[in-house]
Structure 1
Amino acid sequence: MNWKPDRTNKRPIYKQIADYIEQGISTGLFSPETMLPSERALAEMLQVNRSTVVAAYEDLQSMGIVERKKGSGTIVSTDIWGVEHRRIPNWSRYLERGSFLPNLPVVQRIRKETQENDLINMASGELSPRLFPNEQFQRILSERPFTGYLGYDDPQGSEELRDTIATHVKEYKKINTDSSSILITSGAQQALHLIVQCLLKPGDAVAIEDPSYCYSLPIFHTAGLKIYRLPVDSHGVNPDDLVHFHKKHRIRMIFLNPDYQNPTGTVLSMERRKQILNLSAEYGIPIIEDDPYSLTSFDGVVNSTLKSMDDNGNVLYISSLSKIIASGLRIGWVIGPAKVVQRLADAKQQVDFGHSIFPQWVANQFLGSEYFHPHIHFLRKQLKQRRNQIVLSLKQLLDDKISFSIPNGGIHLWCKLIEPIDEQKLLEESIRKGIAIVPGGILGSEKGCQRFTYGRVEISSIHEGIERFSEALINIEK
């Protein structure tokens, strides 16, 4: 056996050995009833521990590829294909080899706990059902029955909805565009996927905020991108950091959430917006502006988006209805140069043949109705009340243990614990106490931070949720 395991490969040695033998059996190198080397002999040949070979043989045995008999050794199974010439795939191996990475285990754990247990949910980024315009939807459906076509539509999405969005962003965001420069997506998440998959390639360097929601997304690692983190302070990211990274690594794209940023709630200052746009124009770096929260501004003042200030077509603007109307509609959009939007639309068409017609119709009816502006006013008021309650509760219960800045919009409050703590233990204890929060470590590099989200939780449960978190923190500190 001339083959040797690759010790520079991150794949465990025992799995490399099992893979090699399995491949050898498939190609006929090891035929049925072949006696494989003993554990000790193979360990010596490959210069590995005997326990590594034992693990490899046990892996192969679990798949029915080899038979192990005490005192006789390990032989290639005579019934690999079974009576009906069938084999059970090694699904675990397929799952490990897939190129599309799963969510982080912590993210999966939090989602599972909030779905299966009655926790006070201050982790989820969606709105409370009480904040959805359910009555208005019912009126629309009763007053304006759907009579549209339910087949495939334009790959860019309903032209009627795109026209309505063009009017909407001009009125609320001062963005001048038309339907040819808009793509309807399944929320902002799909927009990010399409941009990463279509406009970047493995090895490209991208800059994201630190902390950032993007930090928790596997899509960047799945695409093989090199990620460089721009620290966020009270005024957003510092343009000087972008210059530093670009000169050193040639940044290909920058991802920003300028208004009420997830998770910090900060707003990118106007001065820095202008500087970043100038740098984008100077270096030719595209900016991906993710804007889910700007309309939630508690004082009603909507900041100038980067896209509205973009004179060169350098900004791809992403927004959605998920954080202001209803996440279940799955309506998002990308605004950018027409040729870029067409490329993204072609990719979306390959994935799902275009967006579902009915939710587009509902979204169009609501966005263009007299219901929209009163709903936004209601949403701002409700979110501000929740923000005020969580701030009050944190000051009453954890004032000497935690520090934070008070956001003026959005749904997130970013806290830093004054004393260092084991984030994983705190998460486990919080869940045990019945409160779900997001550890800061999955959103950025700074230690000892927590994200509290007040959009999903009912206002009547916020104080109790902070009490439970406080109890969990005290238990961990003991």
Structure 2
Amino acid sequence: MEWKPDKHGELPVYQQIAKRLEQQIIEGELPPGSSLPAERVLARRYGVNRGTVSAAYEELRAMGLLQSWQGSGTWVSQHLWGVKQMPNWYKYTNGGAFLPAYPLAKRIQEACFDPSIINLAKAELTTSMIPPLSLQNLDDANENSFELGYAHPKGDVKLREVLATHLHEHYGITASPEEILVTSGAQQALHLISLCLLSPGDAIAMEGPSYSYSLPLFSSAGLRLYRLPMDKEGIIPEAIKSLHLEHRLRMVFANPTYHNPTCCVMSYARRRQLLDICQELRIPLVEDDAYGALTIKNGQKPPLPIKAMDASGTVLYVNSTSKTVAPGLRIGWLVGPRSVIERLADAKQQMDFGTSSVSQQLARHFLESARWKNQMERLSGYLYSQRQVMQAAMEKEMKEYATWSIPEGSYHFWCRLVEPMDEQILIDAAIREGVVFTPGSVYGAEQGWLRLTYSWEKGTAIEEGIRRLGKVLGNKTS
């Protein structure tokens, strides 16, 4: 959305325009010697009279930032203090291989850091639900045995052994330690896959909507993204065949258990069909199972991951401790054929010399003990009570504005507005009212969808946040 001066603000409009142009000059968006629009052109753009723009230009000329020549227009001064030697950081920061976050997602991220705003967008465990993981918890945490050096490129050997046991006991996945790569969170695993196993121009398919649409890393890698249609069970597998025929898919990404953002769960039969089709077409399948362990109390347990039925090495399985234990640990893992793990481990070593040794040892001691089971039981009850609070608040404040289904796992409600609204206008109005959520377009959904998260805020804050959101929706529909 293009910047506009606030005609009702405390600062005079001409000063707002002058400050805006000054900022663009200093940041390099308007480099020395660049031409500025004629006064009448900028006046039309900002919806002000020409005299207001003239006053803004005059102020910048007095500061030495602008120069004017009769018949030649107005220019950014070539002789600014130090600016002549300053790099054009605007071009640098908007270039490079790794693209910036999408503007709407960035707006939400900024609001999430404001403690005065009720946060129904943050998909993290509240601090009280993160178990204590101090060095004193470790039986062997003493100066003789606690490792602080670089870990093995694939990850700490003891952690990978523990993960092999953990995956078999809790997920039905059989994998040797040599088929496991420890990563700095699940997102790094996806980044490694996109950079090392795919090439610019390759076509990949994923659910629509999907959390992956919110990650610029796929576009940064130059990949072509294609959407797979979904129903209440997730991906419709038959669509892969027609999409592959047209675009020659190189990889499929799926989130079959408590899908983010819809929370739907793929049935066993559908998982089997999806795997069979990928095997038939020889297309690797990346399974994101970040929320798979988060069944809410009284909810039906989901089927085992697709990786549990994969005997051919078709599936690359990605998971982490971020949603179940502590996001700050930054411990994720990728399970796949040994040749793939070795390729990605080599790339990871070049990137960061391995995931934090301290985090890996903390994660190992948590996953190999009864703490995992206790934490899952705590989370099951906690998420149940949080979900109930949000559901009751939505029934009271939002029933006439939206519809939703009840999730049996994960952190979210996926809502559809009765009357779709411009998402930028809606999110701006909500933030002004003191609440933030995630619009569906962040995940590639059409206008009119939104995700509401209940894992972070306390019950009273959830109730107040939903009340504020209901007020915004009421104002926009009235």
Task: List structure 1 runs of 4+ shifted beyond 6 angstroms.
Answer: 76-83
Question: Residue 137 of structure 2 corresponds to which residue in structure 1?
Answer: 140
Alignment of 1:6-405 (within 5 A): 70-71=69-70, 87-134=85-132, 137=134, 140-141=137-138, 144-145=141-142, 147-298=145-296, 299=299, 301-405=301-405
Whole-Å Cα distance in 1 between the matches of residues 376 and 136 of structure 2? Answer: 17
Residue identity (%)? 40
Distance 1:291 1:77, change over 3 A: closer
What is the Cα deviation at residue 143 of structure 1? 7.9
What is the Cα deviation at residue 122 of structure 1? 0.8
Matched residue of 1:116: which SS? coil
| TM, length-normalised to structure 1 | 0.82
Question: Residue 434 of structure 1 corresponds to which residue in structure 2?
Answer: 434
Q: Contact 1:437/1:451 (CA < 8 Å) preserved in 2? A: yes
What is the Cα deviation at residue 68 of structure 1? 5.6
Q: Provide, for residues 17-51 of structure 1, a one-character-per-residue CA deviation record: whole Å limited to 9, x for no partner.
A: xxxxx9xx9xxxxxxxxxx99x99xxxxxxxxxxx
What is the Cα deviation at residue 420 of structure 1? 2.2
What amino acid is aligned across from residue 210 of structure 2 in structure 1?
Answer: S
Q: Contact 2:257/2:292 (CA < 8 Å) preserved in 1? A: yes
| TM, length-normalised to structure 2 | 0.82
Whole-Å Cα distance in 1 between the matches of residues 248 and 76 of structure 2? Answer: 54
User: Quick check: 1:453 aligned with 2:453?
Assistant: yes
What is the Cα deviation at residue 300 of structure 1? 6.9
Whole-Å Cα distance in 2 between the matches of residues 457 and 290 of structure 1? Answer: 25
Distance 1:464 1:185, change over 3 A: same
What amino acid is aligned across from residue 265 of structure 1 in structure 2?
Answer: C
Instruction: Give 5+ residue unaligned stretches, structure 1.
Output: 1-21, 26-35, 41-57
Q: Contact 1:290/1:319 (CA < 8 Å) preserved in 2? A: yes
What amino acid is aligned across from residue 464 of structure 2 in structure 1?
Answer: E
Q: Provide, for residues 209-256 of structure 1, a one-character-per-residue CA deviation record: whole Å limited to 9, x for no partner.
A: 111111111111111111111122211110121122111111111111
Q: Contact 2:404/2:414 (CA < 8 Å) preserved in 1? A: yes
Matched residue of 2:452: which SS? strand
Distance 1:68 1:79, change over 3 A: closer
Matched residue of 2:455: which SS? coil
Question: Residue 28 of structure 1 corresponds to which residue in structure 2?
Answer: none
Whole-Å Cα distance in 2 between the matches of residues 385 and 86 of structure 1? Answer: 60
Whole-Å Cα distance in 2 between the matches of residues 384 and 137 of structure 1? Answer: 28
What is the Cα deviation at residue 130 of structure 1? 1.4
Whole-Å Cα distance in 2 between the matches of residues 116 and 96 of structure 1? Answer: 25
Q: How many residues align?
A: 421
What is the Cα deviation at residue 69 of structure 1? 5.8
Q: Contact 2:401/2:473 (CA < 8 Å) preserved in 1? A: no
Matched residue of 1:456: which SS? coil
What is the Cα deviation at residue 72 of structure 1? 9.2
What is the Cα deviation at residue 273 of structure 1? 0.5
Q: Contact 2:151/2:354 (CA < 8 Å) preserved in 1? A: yes
What amino acid is aligned across from residue 406 of structure 2 in structure 1?
Answer: I
Matched residue of 1:168: which SS? helix
What is the Cα deviation at residue 387 of structure 1? 1.4
Whole-Å Cα distance in 2 between the matches of residues 253 and 106 of structure 1? Answer: 27
What is the Cα deviation at residue 137 of structure 1? 4.3
What amino acid is aligned across from residue 184 of structure 2 in structure 1?
Answer: S
Q: Contact 1:172/1:302 (CA < 8 Å) preserved in 2? A: no
What is the Cα deviation at residue 138 of structure 1? 6.7
Q: Contact 2:140/2:146 (CA < 8 Å) preserved in 1? A: no
What is the Cα deviation at residue 86 of structure 1? 8.2
Whole-Å Cα distance in 1 between the matches of residues 122 and 81 of structure 2? Answer: 47
Q: Provide, for residues 109-137 of structure 1, a one-character-per-residue CA deviation record: whole Å limited to 9, x for no partner.
A: 11111213411111011111111012x64
Whole-Å Cα distance in 1 between the matches of residues 250 and 438 of structure 2? Answer: 30
Q: Contact 1:259/1:266 (CA < 8 Å) preserved in 2? A: yes
Whole-Å Cα distance in 1 between the matches of residues 398 and 76 of structure 2? Answer: 63
What is the Cα deviation at residue 384 of structure 1? 1.4
What amino acid is aligned across from residue 458 of structure 1 in structure 2?
Answer: K
Whole-Å Cα distance in 1 between the matches of residues 178 and 140 of structure 2? Answer: 30
Distance 1:224 1:197, change over 3 A: same
Matched residue of 1:127: which SS? coil
What is the Cα deviation at residue 305 of structure 1? 0.4
Q: Contact 2:67/2:76 (CA < 8 Å) preserved in 1? A: no
What amino acid is aligned across from residue 372 of structure 2 in structure 1?
Answer: F
What is the Cα deviation at residue 474 of structure 1? 1.0
What amino acid is aligned across from residue 70 of structure 1 in structure 2?
Answer: W
- Alignment RMSD, CA only? 3.0
Q: Provide, for residues 320-356 of structure 1, a one-character-per-residue CA deviation record: whole Å limited to 9, x for no partner.
A: 0000000000000000001101111111111101111
Q: Contact 1:288/1:317 (CA < 8 Å) preserved in 2? A: yes
Whole-Å Cα distance in 2 between the matches of residues 77 and 442 of structure 1? Answer: 37
Question: Residue 419 of structure 1 corresponds to which residue in structure 2?
Answer: 419
Distance 1:133 1:86, change over 3 A: same
What is the Cα deviation at residue 96 of structure 1? 2.3
